Every structure is written in C-alpha cells, then in structure tokens.
Amino acid sequence: MNYKNESIGTITSFNWKENGFEGQAGNKKFALTFYNERICRVQASLNDSFEHYPFSVILTPQKTGIDAREKDDRLELHSPHLSVEVQKSPMRITFKTKCGEILNADDPGFGISWLGHEVTNYKSLAQDEIFLGMGEKGGGLNRRGSSFDNWNSDAFGFNNDTDPLYMSTPFFIGVREGKPYGIFLDNTFKSHFNFGTSNNNRFSYFSAEAGDLNYYFIQGDTVAQVIQEYAKLTGTCELPPKWSLGFQQCRYSYYPDHEVYNIADTFRNKKIPADVIYLDIHYMKDYMAFTFDNERFPDPKALIEKLESQGFKVVVILDPGIATKPGYGTYDRGIEQDVFVKYPDGSRYEAGVWPGNSHFTDFTSEKGRDWWADELKFYTDLGLEGFWNDMNEPACWGQDIPNMIEFDYDGQQTSHKKARNVYGFQMVRATFEGARKQLGNKRPFTLTRSGFSGVQRYSAVWTGDNVAGDDHMLLGVRLVNSLGMAGVPIAGYDIGGFVGESGPALFARWLAVATFAPFFRVHSMVNVRDSEPWAYGEEVEEIARNYINLRYKLMPYIYSLAYEAHSNGLPLNRSLAVDYYNDHNIYGGSAQDEFTLGQWLLVCPTTSEQQYAKIYLPEGEWYHFFTDEKVQGGQHLVVETTMEDLPVYAKAGAIIPMQNTVQTTQEAADGTLRLHIYFSRQNSEQLYYEDDGSTYDFKEGHFYKRQIQLNGESNTLILSAREGKLGSAFQKLKVYLHGFEADYFEINGESVNYVMEDIRLIDPVTEFDPLPQREKRNYQIKALKTLETELKDTEIKIQWK
C-alpha cells in the first residue's frame, strides 16, 4: 500500500453516457453524472467498480438536457444552470455558473488524492469564500478557518469546541463571490472537512478514511435554493403530527405513575398549555426496551388513556441495546431471528449499557429493521404514538466499539468503520417504519439523538446532553440553525439544560427563545432540581405561561411552516445566512445566534444576565413584535433586556396567521383565524395550510390550503380560493393591520369599517413582591386597525386607500 500522497492522474479514456461520462484517469475510475439541472455527482475510486451508499440519496438521475463537449484539453458538461469543466491532464474539475463564473474548483496541485485508502478532494479557496452548515457542529456561523470530523459520538456535557457530536451531516454550503453552492459527501466512513485552517488558506478539503470519493455538487441561485435542491437529493421531513409541535415536558425520569398524573394535572390546573409528557428509562423493567416496570407502572394502558383524555400524548425512550437475558422475550426473538451484530468469527457482539450486558440490533439490515418494527407493537398496542431514540451512535460503556464488528449494510457486509455513522439513522428509520406499520393511518412522532444525512425523512432531532448555562443556550440555537441548513428542519435542544441546574433567569430566557424553535421541550437530568415551568417561582411561571401561550397562538403559522418544510425542505428556524448571506454583518457577534421563524419573525437570543444587548437587524423595515415600533434594518441596535423580554421583530410584508390560546393542539380554537399583516410597499406571500393534524388523509387531498399575497403597490391583500377537500377549522377571519395608515377598506368590492383595538401578544408579569425588584414590561399595541369577515372558501380580496 502506497502511503505517499497520490493525486489522480491524466484521463486516459472515457465514455459518454446519459447525463455525463465515466472513464479512467491513470489507474483510477471516475464518473460525473448530472442528477438534475442543478446537481452533479462526482465519483472516483481505487476499485474497478464504485461503492454503493444506499441510505441517504433518494433522487435518481432525471432526464436532463446536457450539452456535452470534448475539447483538446478538457471535457465539458453544460446544463441550463450549471457548467462543469474537467481538465484532462491532470484531471481537475471546475464548476461554473451558466455565465461562466467559477463556483468551485479543484486545487490545481492536488485535486482528488489518496493516502493509502484515505481519499481527499482538495479545493481552491477564493479570498472571500464563506462556508456554512455542516449540521450539528459548534463554532461560528462562517466555518472558514475551522475543521470538523464526522464520527457519531456520545458527547455528554459537550461544549462549543467539542467535535464530533452525535450527528453527522457531511454537507456544506459555500458562497464564493456572492454566489452559493453546496457539496454533499455521501461516504459513511469517518470523514474530515477542513475549511482553510492550518494551511495558510492555501486550500480547503474534505476526506474520508476509506471508500470512494462520492460527492454531489449543487448549484442554487440562493442559499435557500441550495437547501431545497439538497432536500430533493436526500428527502424532506415527514409532516409531523401537530401535537409534536406543542410544548413538551420531560425529565430523567418521571416515575412512578402517580408522578406522571400529577405533572399532567398541574399543567391543566395552572393553565399552562402542553401536549407531551415523556417517560425516560425508569419506566422500563431493569431498563430493558419493550417493557414497563410493573411496580412503577402497573397499568400503562390506563395511564396513556387518562393522559390522552387530558390532551396529552406520551412519548417513551428507546435504546438499541437489548439485554442478554434468556426469558426476556425481545432478546429471545432477536436470537431466534438472528438480528444482532457480530464479530468476524460469528459470535455476537456484547457490551455494557443501561440494562447491563447487551446485544445490538443490526439496523443496517432489512431483517433487523423489520424485526424491530414488529417489536414496536408492544408500545402501539398500549396506545403510544411517540418514540424517542437515544444512545444510538451507538453508545455503550467505554465508548470504544471494536472496528471489526460486522454489519449487513443492506447486503454489503461491512465493518463498524463504514456502518457507525448511519447506525442511529437506520435505528430511527426502523422505529418510524414500525410505528407507521402498527399505527395504520396515524402519523407517529419519532425523535433521535444520532443520525446521518437523510435522517430528516424519519425523525426530528434534538441536540443531546447539553449543560445549563447561557453559552449552551446560544450554542443550542446555533446548532438548530445549522441543522436547518443541513436538511434537518425540525430540531431542538433541552430547554434549561440537561446537565447541571438552571437558575430562574436562565430558564425564563431559554424557554422564551425556544418558543420559536421547531422542537419545544424541557428536559433535565436525574438528581437535579425540578424543571417544570412552575418550578422556578411565580414570576418565572408567569413568564413561561406567557411564552408558551404565544407558541400556541402561533400554531397556524408554525404548522404551515412545517408543511412547507415537508414540501420543499426549507427549515423552520433559518440562520440569517439563509436569506441574508451576502450581508457581512451577520457573520460576527450576536448576529450569528439570530434566526428567523419562517421568513417573517426575527428572533434575537440574548443571555439571561444581560441588561443591554447589541442585536443586528438585516436590511428592510422591522416592527417590534410586541409593540409595533418600526425600526429600519441594516443596522446594529442596543436594546434593553429584562427577564421577561426577548427581542423579536416582524419584517415589513410579514403575513403571520395566528389563533387564540388553547391548552393543547387537540383543543379546538375559538373559530377565528387571526391574520397579522405588516405593511410594506414590497410584495410578499405566505402559504397557509391546515389538515386534521394527525392522520395521512392529507395525502388523499384532505387538506385546506391557500396562498396569501400582500401587494404593497396595488394596495391589496388576497387570500386565494381554497385548495383541498377539507374545510377550515376556522369560520371567521380577523385581519390585524400593523402599520397601515389607510382609512378606507373594501372586502371583495364592498366597503367595510375597521375597528380600532388594543392587543397584547404577551401579557404583563404580575408584581408579586410588594417591594418591586425591577420595572416590569407591559407590552401593548394600541389602536390597531382590524377587519373582520367570514372565512369563505372563494377568493377573499381586501383593498385599501
């Protein structure tokens, strides 16, 4: 084996094929294949045939009009959006826009290279090149000058510099001279990405310790379009059940059953909305999957039914380790069906984890996934619809699984080195497919700690065992923003921190920030203080209720965004780099932590100890969400912050559907859809979507969908005619006109009177102490113009002058 760097050589032969070409460069096999007009796959191998990576990519090459040319020194492929030039000697690849501007190019000296089995692609670096994404990675928004490994790891108590973490998504977005592109390395061996660090910015590179070079180059006119093209490649999320977007309460652990009943009763008695209560590992008998402890939970079915009657779903934790205890049914059936991973000599791998010595299901095999899916019937027969997949890196005591352990890898028979990064991905796939099989027409909810690119097709993601602290609160926000840019649109973090104990101010601020996150869950570790919304005193309880109420008011908007994510892959939480990537201000300071919910609500996380915070508003006009104060964007602001105050802004042109407060997503609203419109001279639009929130009937057309368009030039707001077979859950439409100076309004050609109304989006906090400790905020929007009309299925056109 040659361990000296060996760069790919001169192209000695090639053959044109549909959508591209393949050939030999020296003794290396290569191929370039267009998958659509914006995506080109690059493969290079030491072997006579290319390796197959079956799990992430679901797109097959589309019939694409490619203009293929051979010139003396190069081969060229041109689509309507992307041009690829391949220099023949030595082989080097350059990607260009349709106008001939360079997007990305191989380093001229090294290009595609090997060191033994390790394959690397060195890329030239432009002076202003920016790198975004990579998913669950700490650090700053711009990855330039950083490097990362992809090797799924149990990273208990991680910090901003910990790498790798639990999840691997080897996909990044580059922006070169203002033009974005994406690269996804579909190789499941341990991989490494270097964005110009430790080499004086000579080059960037990505490598895998074995296997083929197998990457997909993506062209997009915007960062958002690159994300959408990547979603075509690896899939979008399932439309989640609506209850999974509500508030969720967890700890390690709630037991016995009367403690769970008490938690549920307290939420309802205190009128704090919530949808989900979790059961961590103490619900199981001796921590064994597919069991309930008979003493702690003597009647789990009755518990689940009681909570269901109160509007709660129960989610249970699932770990991959199966205790090696004869007589334990799951273990016996696993042995009988031969689904556990093995050493090369055929003996089953065994390691210690929560239930003691355990075997591990081979989720990379169809047989293993099918077996797990059948085992899941134990839970679904009890009425469970939510499943939390943990410890699935896989984790075990000692954290050092021998690399020789063998996995099926969909028939390829490979080692732990190739299978580890997809293990958690395939576990939650098995869980989702099992729940889907057992629940029939109901939508299950699955959550995972570990995964790989494509995991979004099966699961939401949370960012693992974080720590109580302001730095972790902000780190969690950045991780979720980055996961969104890596194709995982529904993600979140443990509010309040899992490790250690949060204080009142931190918990209040963390929960306020998380109100706008896709996955909204409090979770805390064993042997720490209680961490329910009422556990930090009366003042924090009110603040928590205010923000949780706001979450439920925003549910029509959030659910519409979840449908958009399902449709096109755009994340619910969007780093400012999604829409403002050419604004250099977003790559420094606190702007790196900021995000928008959809495209309209800007959230500026601030730490719990700050009395004043410096925030950044991107270009455009912005309305303070709680006061309607209008601020010009493109500038930094210093704002005062208090425990109950979070800087949130609605962009001019925003269209935000809301409802009244409910205690659970299963509770019917009051029948009035509240549509908040923020005046702008620009045109804007927002998709509005409803369905039953729990079944797959929407796939048969049982949904309610409208496009809402604001035209600032013609002074019109149009709700398109209803699409879909389902009627709306709302009968009336109330339009809140923020920033509108007009005094004359028409609805469908008929003059209507507006009504002035004072509103609050969050309530003031009570002064509990007779000696006030600080001045409380009393946010109110006064004299807001409102219009009311029947929510008809036909087009609704509102005009003003």
Positions marked catalytic: 390, 393, 465
Q: How far is the C-alpha of 378 from the C-alpha of 328, rounded, in Å? A: 13
Task: Name 202's Cβ contacts closer than 8 Å, sequence gap at least 6.
Answer: 107, 125, 196
Note the helical H segments in 184-283.
Answer: 223-234, 257-269
Q: How far is the C-alpha of 11 from the C-alpha of 534, rounded, in Å? A: 68
> Which amino acid does the sequence have at 500?
G
Q: How far is the C-alpha of 207 from the C-alpha of 116, rounded, in Å? A: 12
Strands 494-495 and 521-522: parallel
Q: How far is the C-alpha of 461 from the C-alpha of 168, rounded, in Å? A: 12
553: helix, strand or coil: helix
Contact status, residue 14 vs residue 20, Cβ threshold 8 Å? no
Q: How far is the C-alpha of 190 from the C-alpha of 163, rounded, in Å? A: 13
Structure tokens at 284: 């199981």
With residues binned 3-state (H G I as helix, E B as strand, rest as coil), the percentages for the chain, rounded to 5, are 20, 30, 45
Among the listed residues 441, 436, 450, the one whose alpha carbon sits nearest the alpha carbon of residue 488: 450
Q: How far is the C-alpha of 183 from the C-alpha of 172, rounded, in Å? A: 6
Burial code (b: 16+ CB inside 10 Å, e: under 16) for 522-554 equals bbbbeebeebbbbbbeebbbbbbbbbbbbbbbb
Q: How far is the C-alpha of 594 from the C-alpha of 576, rounded, in Å? A: 7
Task: Name 584's Cβ contacts closer than 8 Å, sequence gap at least 6.
Answer: none
Q: The tokens 């601030």 sit on which residue?
A: 606
Residue 504: Cβ within 10 Å count: 16
DSSP class of residue 738 equals: E
Contact status, residue 566 vs residue 238, Cβ threshold 8 Å? yes
Bond before 684 cis per omega within 30 degrees: no
Residues in the chain: 801
Structure tokens at 265: 């009763």
Q: How far is the C-alpha of 388 from the C-alpha of 319, rounded, in Å? A: 8
551: helix, strand or coil: helix
CA angle 103, 221, 560 (to 5 degrees): 140
Rg (the chain; Cα; Å): 27
Contact status, residue 177 vs residue 211, Cβ threshold 8 Å? no
Task: Name 287's Cβ contacts closer than 8 Å, sequence gap at least 6.
Answer: 281, 319, 323, 354, 355, 356
Structure tokens at 237: 């999320």
Among the listed residues 286, 298, 417, 296, the one whose alpha carbon sits nearest the alpha carbon of residue 357: 286
Q: How far is the C-alpha of 153 from the C-alpha of 159, rounded, in Å? A: 13
Cα 21 to Cα 59, 450, 540: the distances in Å are 19, 36, 63
Per DSSP, which regions of 549-682 are E strands?
573-575, 595-597, 601-603, 612-617, 621-624, 630-632, 635-640, 648-651, 655-658, 672-678
CA angle 590, 592, 597 (to 5 degrees): 105
> Which amino acid does the sequence have at 77?
L
Q: How far is the C-alpha of 104 from the C-alpha of 109, rounded, in Å? A: 15
Contact status, residue 452 vs residue 55, Cβ threshold 8 Å? yes
Q: The tokens 């998504």 sit on which residue?
A: 169
DSSP class of residue 240 equals: P
> Which amino acid does the sequence have at 308?
E
